[in-house]
Structure 1
């Protein structure tokens, strides 16, 4: 049963929440640790991708880099979610960082000795991506363990600001380093930040959990902590663990799809990535086809080359997400009280993402395009923070990891699947119409989230 469910007994709702004590210190340690870990990982990710581009200059190598860097995380997240529900979430946050640091040291040594090649890099990208599939659900489900329910939206918004700031800072640092020092030394940046991040998380003292109840399929209740103590199915140990993991994945899917609010944010996130985020990855084509030879003097910088315009595009989106996250952090917790208003914000945010993607396709000039690009980033941030908060506050403590694992898998697969449709389409019709089509198809997604919101509210009354 959700902590926000009105059916919770009055005495439970007024009981002292151990998470209220010292929560700011715990959250600060967690966010600082994630900021360091994310920064180092992103710097190294950019450096590796750029090295692959500069050394191979082939589309096939970039395709494999994308597959090894994205697909493992999407697949592993399905199983990382149940792991976050059954095992120590704090350990699941720290352990992948340490493993990734170890394989990054190995890659650094291989570059220093001169025997690194694409096969070694792809293997490391695979391990790094798989580690993210375990770590991401653990981080998202660990936040409500150390944060009072009423502060979740604010904390998630700050986490979004950190992610957006990283999108601005990491490529800039990577660009400077790759021109100054050899790649093997850049790789050690991730090792250093990973150790610092793990150190911050290790200092967190998780508050004792109150007895929480969850509802089984037959309507009975049991303590959430019982889930971790469930016996394994019969058979050899590896097979038994595998059976239970797949059962956990199935139960998590049934659980999430049976609750309108959770279903709304998970499917809303996935379909938005499919309809809108996929076309956004075609901005390279849009810039080269629609704005080739068109300069823009902003006063402090003159955009003349294709690389200038692409950098401005990425920067505009990141600044928009940074502004949106800051706004949600400052005002979201005050204005969006309760799951219903947060769901309405998710629906509105998705609609605005669709509208701004349409705007990118019909922009009359480059300046208008960049302004709309910033607004698209603001709209994206307005979606993400309430989505995370809904998944944390509306899930049983024993199911939070599975919910986030499911969302991460669906959303991660949504973008490449969308690219399979929109990328070939861009060679058949005008690239502007691809953006318009993606934006228009996103609007029904917002309506669907609104529909599920009304269903969820009706079910509670």
Structure 2
């Protein structure tokens, strides 16, 4: 059986266009809700602790589920797992909309919603990461991942403006309903139009337990020196990224003004940067060695984090936010492609599951550290400090011989 290769060779362009279209539609609805909830909490509370609670609720379920979800992504039909995750989130969002319409609009309900959405994301993330190499030839993964980053950036550019307009003109319940509709469209598209064969391991009768499969995944990581170092780098990186990722809206509200247009402007600037960065990495492809591309982008992000803590003028702040956005897909694309190229297909789900565990545990740890501190000292100080450490970490990344070896280009498929 060689279903993965068949998918990659036959009509792969049509399949990937339809697959990414379904994910883009789903992302648009999710982004509308994400911004609406974030702004609702920010403008209602202006509290670092409340933002920290919201972010932790949005990460812990993903962390707890990632070990199981990674195994599922290797044992079962990945397309169906993505559909189930989208359906779960849509149903939860519909229930929340109904509760808000009935007058139950307590902040804690938004925390519960964040947890449920994180649960769905925990199922979906390993499956999406593992399914792309089934559809796309290996030598096209950088271009496809880069293009996908650019498409997502367009959505991230449109969604804050759309969310802000809807937030100003109508109720948050309407935004919830839009998310339900976009999720339904995405599910129908996947079911009816996207053809992805079940990968080899999932097509076979499962003779091992979940625990044994998970244990084999951990052993696989432990036996690959580059994976251990790769994941260690990301553990530190995600902790240091927490202030720039989550505290900048609060910083803007405190230092420049709590106008909704300012919060919208920083998201738009970041999204414009991501669009440019996604297009750049898709066209350029990065340096021959993917780890060097990651190092380059990390240095830019570290410098931008410092700048966000220093600049006193809002429009200059937006410039650095946009530059930060440029660096994100230049960093994320080679990161994903390295795993997709180097990991055996039967272990892809579990490796992406471990990656999910790291990202979803380190971000909350970062917020547990920096969120309460943000209520005691200026966020600007946190940005400068973490920016310096990101640059130091980037230097270590670029000088690690094992990771540099892993970053070398894969052989083209015949």
- TM above 0.5, yes or no, is yes
1:231 corresponds to 2:213: no
Answering whether residue 325 of structure 2 is matched by residue 377 of structure 1, we say yes
- Compute the displacement of 1:425 (Å): 4.8
> Within 1, Cα distance between the matches of 2:165 and 2:265?
17
CA contact (8 A) 2:77 2:198 kept: no
1:103 equivalent to 2:59? Answer: no
**Offset of 1:21 from its aligned partner?**
1.8
The answer to whether the 8 A contact 2:78-2:128 is kept is: yes
Q: CA deviation at 1:143?
A: 0.9
**Distance in 1 of aligned mates of 2:116 and 2:245:** 27
Q: In structure 1, what is the equivalent of residue 189 of structure 2?
A: 200
- For residues 362-400 of structure 1, what are the alpha-carbon distances to aligned partners after superposition, in whole Å with 9 as ceiling and x for unaligned? 446444433222222212221101111111111110111
C-alpha distance in 2 between matches for 1:119 and 1:196: 29
Instruction: For residue 281 of structure 1, give the secondary structure of its aligned residue in structure 2.
Output: helix
Deviation at 1:324, TM superposition (A): 0.6
Structure 1 residue 288 displacement after superposition: 6.0
Q: How does 1:417-436 map to 2 (within 5 A)?
A: 417-426=365-374, 431-436=379-384
Match of residue 311 from structure 1: 264
Q: 1:261 to 1:382 in 2, by over 3 A?
A: farther
In 2, are the aligned partners of 1:160 and 1:325 still within 8 Å (CA)?
yes
Kindly indicate whether residue 277 of structure 2 is the aligned counterpart of residue 324 of structure 1: yes
SS in structure 2 of the partner of residue 399 of structure 1? helix
Q: Matched residues in 2 for 1:135 and 1:119: separation?
A: 25
1:81 aligns with 2:70: yes
Task: Point out where structure 2 has 5 or more consecutive residues left out of the alignment.
Answer: none
TM-score (norm. length: structure 2): 0.85
Using the size of structure 1 for normalisation, the TM-score is 0.77
1:401 maps to which residue? 349
> 1:248-287 counterparts in 2 under 5 A?
248-284=213-249, 286-287=251-252
- Secondary structure (helix, strand or coil) at the match of 1:194 reads helix
| Aligned mates of 1:119, 1:369 — CA distance in 2 | 32
- Give SS of 2:194's match: coil
Corresponding residue of 1:188: 177
For residues 105-129 of structure 1, the C-alpha deviation after alignment (integer angstroms, 9 at most, x for no partner) is: 2333333344565555444432222
Distance in 2 (alpha carbons) for counterparts of 1:423 and 1:102: 31
Matches of 1:245 and 1:325, distance apart in 2: 37
Give the 3 Å change call, closer, same or farther, for CA 42–365 of structure 1 in structure 2. Answer: closer
Equivalent position SS for 2:196: coil
C-alpha displacement at 1:343, in angstroms? Answer: 2.0
Q: Secondary structure at the match of 1:231?
A: coil
* Secondary structure of 1:179 counterpart: helix
CA contact (8 A) 2:160 2:267 kept: no
User: Which whole-Å CA distance do the structure 1 matches of 2:8 and 2:226 have between them?
Assistant: 24
Aligned equivalents of 1:419, 1:110: Cα separation in 2: 29
| Aligned partners of 1:87 and 1:228 also within 8 Å | no
Q: Which residue of 1 aligns with 2:120?
A: 131
Alpha-carbon separation, structure 1, partners of 2:354 and 2:233: 13
Q: Any idea what the Cα deviations from partners look like across 1:75-113, whole Å, max 9, x if unmatched?
A: 212221111011100100111112222232233333334
Q: Displacement of 1:188 after TM fit?
A: 1.8
**Paired residues of 1:19 and 1:145 also in contact (CA < 8 A):** yes
In 1, Cα distance between the equivalents of 2:138 and 2:283?
17
Following TM superposition, by how much is the alpha carbon of 1:307 offset from its aligned partner in structure 2, in angstroms?
4.8
Question: Which is further off, 94-103 or 172-181?
Answer: 172-181
Q: 1:382 to 1:193 in 2, by over 3 A?
A: same
- 2:135 matches 1:170: no
- In structure 2, which of residues 112, 115, 139 is the aligned counterpart of residue 150 of structure 1? 139
Deviation at 1:316, TM superposition (A): 2.1
The equivalent position to 2:403 in structure 1, one of 453, 456, 460, is 453
Structure 1: gaps of 5 or more residues: 1-11, 210-223, 233-243, 293-303
| CA distance in structure 1 between the aligned counterparts of 2:212 and 2:50, rounded to whole angstroms | 36
CA-to-partner distance for each residue in 1:116-146, whole Å, 9 max, x for gaps? 6555544443222201100111111111111
Q: Is residue 364 of structure 2 the alignment partner of residue 388 of structure 1?
A: no
Q: Could you say what secondary structure the match of 1:206 adopts? A: coil
Counterpart residue number, 1:442: 390
Q: 1 CA distance for matches of 2:73 and 2:320?
A: 38
Q: 1:68, CA displacement in angstroms?
A: 2.6
Cα distance in 2 for partners of 1:229, 1:430 equals 57
